[in-house]
Structure 1
Amino acid sequence: MTEEFTGAGLGRRAFLTGAATLAASAALWPREMRAAAADRKFAASLGWTTYDSGRHLQDGFNAAVKELGGSLTTTDAGFDARVQSDQIDSLVASKPEALFVTPADAVAIAPAVQRAIAAGIPVFCADSSVPGAMVTTTAMSSNFGMGQYSAEFICKALNGKGKIARVMLPQNESWDQRTLGMEWTLRRYPEIEIVTEWAFALAGNVTPRQAVDNILTSNPDVNAIWCAWDGASVEGTLAARAAGRADLILTGIDGGSQAFNYIAADTPLKLSMAQSFYEMAYASVFYAHEALAGRKTPRLVITPTYAVTHDMLKDGIPDDYDVPGRAGELGWTRAL
């Protein structure tokens, strides 16, 4: 269930019983508002559509527009901030009634987002905030909390003592919060030692697999590797297998079928902090309709995160866990 607070500080819950409730809520609008919603013109500037995260975000935007009304024009920047900035400017020129953004590099695209707002187009962000830009609503996970939780998982698995490495994702402010959350947890575990670390760069020449290969070669006694995203933890699992390190513990952040399959197969990947990407996108469209109808919207929506381990996947690999209401049907409860 999504927790939200309006700008006036009034707590309320829009996602009561899943996607059906969200879609059905449109039927509660006055007839003239429903008619206007059907003709809404939206645009989405997606920082990426690859990986499970990008696919779920795209699916959420498409489903919400289909169910709640409107048309949607979408662009994909492929993790290139310059391309995304140009795409935002082009979408603004088409004069949509609202713009949805999933930032790959939030700082770099902030000027383009600000230009959209200055042009009178309300902006709704999913997965990451854009610093310095007064967007209408941002729907995202608690990145600091996910870093805390996954670090705590490792510390408890090691009984509070051991050597760990970390693979970080400093690409934008939101993703870097995961590392800060991890560091906050480690303050309570003085006998956990970070022996090495590596920061991923989109334009770099070193892949996460190569980085973990190097970590295991130079630190053969490392007990665990904390990864800021599942792409690194999956590639790290392959490196652990190649090094014969079945005892290694890896954790990741994102969720999705690829990471879930590794967790279910009893590999060194033991935990994924599974984000609700579909719900982030759906919430963005929902609140765009609310804002355009003249109703209050929350400045920030923290969508659910599920701490997925082996036992949660014993009945299968759910690809739709982040559709509102589906996690409850699976018997999952949110960790954050």
Structure 2
Amino acid sequence: MSTDDTSGDDQARFHLTRRGLLSGAAALTVATALARPGQAYAQDAQFCASLGWTVWESGRHIVSGYKDAVAKLGGTLTIADANYDVKKQADQIAAFVASKPAAIFITPADAAAIAPAVQAAVASGIPIFCGDSYVPNTTVTSTAMSNNFGLGSYGAQYISDRLNGKGKVAMVCLPSNESWDQRTLGAKSVFVRYPDIQVVSEIAFALGGSTTPRQVVDNILTANPELDAIWCAWDGAASEGTLAIKAANRKVFITGIDGGKQSFEYIKAGSPFALTLAQSFYEMAYMNAFYAHEVIAGRKAPRFVITPSYAVTKESLAGIPLPDTYDQPGEAAKLGWKRVL
């Protein structure tokens, strides 16, 4: 295992101590627990995190959540980036199991594909904590994630309402991860209720493939001259789709899921990017690390933690700087944002 601070295909190791205090508001649960007499935390525990990706806004917030939590609560942390490579992530998990850490954190890029590796990790007796998606056919210690079905349905409802229940819609889906695919199922559960909403195109996008989201949206626009809206399973497609819509000079609006400064910038500027469902990636990671400490101390962890999501539009961004810490507990309330899921 490399101890160099590297990126890309190399594994990066971060040694963190309590002196790196979490700035801003800490999770209420964490703050309350730390204030209780006799609350012990593992200062010398070794933690490992196998992350399916560290790119994009989501990856940056996930890494920050883990680093801040371990800095606050104690221990050392090794982070490995699989960069959407399933075999690489499975190998990382196996290597982490062999190193016998206090707990392993996993953010799956393809949850179903790495299920055997996670099953083996669970069988080793090491506490396993998953973030962003659950892993099927496994019983990990705890999973912190968004309500993906709800994220998909919320965006579809926004589109249906804005079109007054009538129009032509395209969908850019992300089926490679079972949890991400739940967003598509949620969207379809809404569109099917509107007989005058016609889904004219549904594209199953593959991360790591040769086709970009921009090319997908370009093709959708070319094939559908009367299109009204595009629902996207993640903000990467919505951001690139925004550029495609503007280049084609089309009156089409687009929605996404994830959140982050780039998405907020497009939305605030009044571009075709009209809505994102901003997830709490930082809090997913922080809660995983917090409950790992709880388990080490002999206390319980919840099987599921559903972290907050916020509906972000041009109106909710008016009059405020582009937020980057909204997914740290307590920060969204300062912006006047309310949890929708």
The TM-score with structure 1 as length reference comes to: 0.92
Question: 3-state DSSP class of the match of 2:106?
Answer: strand
Are 1:252 and 2:256 an aligned pair? yes
Q: CA deviation at 1:116?
A: 1.1
Unaligned runs of 5+ in 2: 1-23
SS in 2 for 1:48: coil
Equivalent in 204, 212, 237 of residue 207 of structure 1 = 212
Contact 1:26/1:68, CA 8 A, preserved across alignment: no
C-alpha deviations, 1:123-179, integer Å up to 9, x for none?
Answer: 000100000111011000000000000000000110110001000000111000000
Deviation at 1:30, TM superposition (A): 5.2
Tell me whether 287-296 or 40-49 shows the greater mean CA deviation: 287-296
Corresponding residue of 1:8: none
Counterpart of 2:87 in structure 1 is: 82
Q: Tell me if 1:40 matches 2:42.
A: no
Q: Residue 171 of structure 1 aligns to a residue in which SS?
A: coil
CA distance in 2, matches of 1:51, 1:180: 24
- 1:147 equivalent to 2:152? Answer yes
2:8 aligns to what? Answer: none
Matched, 1:19 2:23: no
**What's 2:110 paired with?**
105
Match in the other structure for 1:188: 193
The alpha carbon displacement at 1:119 in A equals 1.1
SS of 1:193's partner is strand
Where does residue 120 of structure 1 map in the other structure? 125
Residue 22 of structure 1: how far off its partner (Å): 4.5
Q: Does residue 309 in structure 1 map to residue 313 in structure 2?
A: yes
Quote the offset at 1:94 in angstroms. Answer: 1.1
1:50 aligns with 2:55: yes
Query: Which residue pairs with 1:300 in the alignment?
Result: 304
Q: Distance in 1 between matches of 2:272 and 2:77?
A: 41
Q: Structure 2 CA distance, aligned partners of 1:309 and 1:126? A: 26
Distance in 2 separating the partners of 1:332 and 1:225: 25
Q: How far apart in 1 are the matches of 2:183 and 2:267?
A: 21
Partner residue in 2 for 1:328: 333
**Pick aligned residue for 1:133 from 125, 138, 142:** 138
Letter in structure 2 aligned against 1:216: L
**Residue 276 (structure 1) aligned to one of 280, 293, 297:** 280
Counterpart secondary structure, 2:254 = strand
CA distance in structure 1 between the aligned counterparts of 2:270 and 2:224, rounded to whole angstroms: 23
Classify 1:177/1:20 alpha carbon distance in 2 versus 1 (closer, same or farther; 3 Å): closer
The 3-state SS of whatever aligns with 1:175 is: helix
Distance 1:24 1:335 in 2: 24
Higher mean C-alpha displacement, 111-120 vs 148-157: 111-120
State the shift of 1:24 in Å: 3.1
Match among 240, 244, 247 for residue 239 of structure 1? 244
Secondary structure of the residue that 2:53 maps to in structure 1?
coil
- Distance in structure 2 (CA, Å) of the matches to 1:142 and 1:241: 31
Say if 1:113 and 1:133, in contact at 8 Å, map to a contact too: yes
When residues 32 and 176 of structure 1 are mapped into structure 2, their CA distance, relative to the original with a 3 A threshold, is closer
Residue 56 of structure 1 aligns with an amino acid whose one-letter code is H
Q: CA RMSD in A?
A: 1.4
Aligned residues of 2:169 and 2:228 also touching (Cα < 8 A): yes
CA distance in 1, matches of 2:148, 2:332: 20
The Cα of 1:259 is off from its aligned counterpart by 0.5
Within the candidate set 47, 68, 71, 1:63 is matched to 68
Q: Which moved more, 1:196-205 or 1:50-59?
A: 196-205
Of the candidates 264, 267, 272, which is equivalent to residue 263 of structure 1?
267
Q: Which runs of 4+ in 1 moved over 4 A?
A: 29-32
In 2 relative to 1, CA 20–148 (structure 1 residues): closer, same or farther, beyond 3 Å? closer
* 1:316 to partner: Cα distance: 1.6
Q: Which amino acid aligns with 1:43?
A: C
1:127·1:139 contact (CA, 8 Å) conserved in 2? yes
- What's the secondary structure of 1:130's corresponding residue? coil
Q: Distance in 1 between matches of 2:248 and 2:114?
A: 40
Q: CA deviation at 1:83?
A: 0.5
Where do residues 207-226 of structure 1 align in structure 2 (5 Å cutoff)? 207-226=212-231
8 Å CA contact retained: 1:163, 1:224:
yes
From 35, 40, 55, the equivalent of 1:28 is 35
Aligned length: 317
Q: Deviations over 1:242-295 (max 9, x none)?
A: 1001x2110000000111100001000000000000000000011111111111
Is 1:229 matched up with 2:234? yes
Q: CA 1:244 to 1:292, structure 2 compared with 1: closer, same or farther past 3 Å?
A: same
- Asked if the contact 1:39/1:69 (under 8 Å) is kept, the reply is yes
| Greater RCO structure (CA 8 Å; 6+ sep) | 1
Tell me the TM-score normalised to structure 2 length.
0.90
Q: Who is 1:3 aligned against?
A: none
Asked if 1 retains the 8 angstrom alpha-carbon contact of 2:170 and 2:199, the reply is: yes
